[in-house]
Amino acid sequence: MKRLWIACALLAAGPLAQAEVGVSVTVGDPHFYGRIEIGNYPRPELVYPQPIVVVQQPQRYSPVYLRVPPGHAKNWKKHCSRYSACNRPVYFVQDSWYNDVYAPRYREAHPGHGHHDNGHGQHGKGHGKGKGKHD
């Protein structure tokens, strides 16, 4: 009987134990992956010299600059939909340029933006999308 009560208690506590706690990351944070606006920033250092396009369409899109985990750039066809960028040319910026040039300047121009907890276990990917995993 005692085992039955313990099993019931564990089952009842299960949903509480599975509550998600996480961190959201915004542009300028070292853990941010996603679209960045180059604007007046210095020319970015790129992973590949030419933009990558997964889905060729008759409509021409201007290229976008993205910072993505290394595995995403290497297998872009698998990951492009997470960034809403399968149908457009993408330049992947190097981590060193993002961390040493872009992020410090962005934080300077946008005080108050940066690392914050949203309780959902997701890392921002530009415009609040994505999980920030390195799969």
The answer to whether position 5 is within a domain reads no
Average pLDDT (8-22) is 44
The answer to whether position 84 is within a domain reads yes
The answer to whether position 13 is within a domain reads no
Q: Is the pLDDT of residue 127 over 60?
A: no
> Beta 90-92 vs 34-36: how paired, if at all?
unpaired
* pTM for the predicted model, two decimal places: 0.51
The answer to whether position 1 is within a domain reads no
Q: Is the pLDDT of residue 135 over 90?
A: no
Average pLDDT (110-129) is 47
**Are the C-beta atoms of residues 46 and 94 closer than 8 Å to each other?**
yes
Tell me the C-alpha distance between 104 and 17, whole Å: 38
pLDDT tier at 114, thresholds 50, 70, 90:
low
The domain of 59 spans 21-135
The answer to whether position 85 is within a domain reads yes
The answer to whether position 123 is within a domain reads yes
More confident site: 100 or 133: 100
The answer to whether position 82 is within a domain reads yes
The answer to whether position 101 is within a domain reads yes
- Grouping H, G, I as helix, E, B as strand and the rest as coil, residue 64 is strand
- Number of domains composing the chain: 1
- For the stretch 48-92, pLDDT in tens is 888 888 876 677 788 999 999 989 999 999 999 999 999 889 999
